[in-house]
Copies of this chain bind each other. A is one copy, B any other.
């Protein structure tokens, strides 16, 4: 559990998510892990492999997260479960955007998207495309059920998601993540969601 392997990954993620991949040297990592530089290469083929492993783990985690969200959606057949929407939000906020590991990887991707085409693809998919798709599904379901009258679920999703994304940038992905910033985000986000659904038709059963 405290294997060197994992310590390298953990320290690397910490540093990468603060300064970006290329601004962190193997020396920097080793200083914190308390091993010599050459030892890193016993555990990882090269610096890139550390990055890749982090991204790969993140993708596995994100995949399972999103699957869970989608299964919650699919369970709502004809009538909405109590607080079903809240549970989707909670999961997405607490176990994704504010999850210790996820938050750091997203931060890292946020930085690296500018240097690294692959990182950009991953970032776009897991921060834009995928969450928006799920959001669209939610709205389309609400429309199908006659709860929302608006026709275009996709555009609604963007409109809904943009402020969430905005608050996330403001609170969660700049500076350190701590209880204060987490609460800042929660307050802004939930307040916004409430007023959004109030406007849209009172469908929000909170």
Contact = CB atoms under 8 A, between A and B. Distances in A.
Interface string A163-196: 1011100100010000000000000100110010
Given A128-B170, A192-B159, A20 B114 contact: yes
Q: From A22, A23, A162, name the one whose CB has the most chain B CB atoms within 10 angstroms.
A: A162
Q: State the oligomeric state as a number of copies.
A: 4
Contact of A19 (B19, B114, B158, B165): B114
Nearest to A128: B170
Interface residues of A, number: 29
Interface in A90-124: 110-111, 113-115, 120, 124
Interface of A: 18-20, 22-23, 110-111, 113-115, 120, 124, 128, 155, 158-159, 161-163, 165-167, 170, 174, 188, 191-192, 195, 199
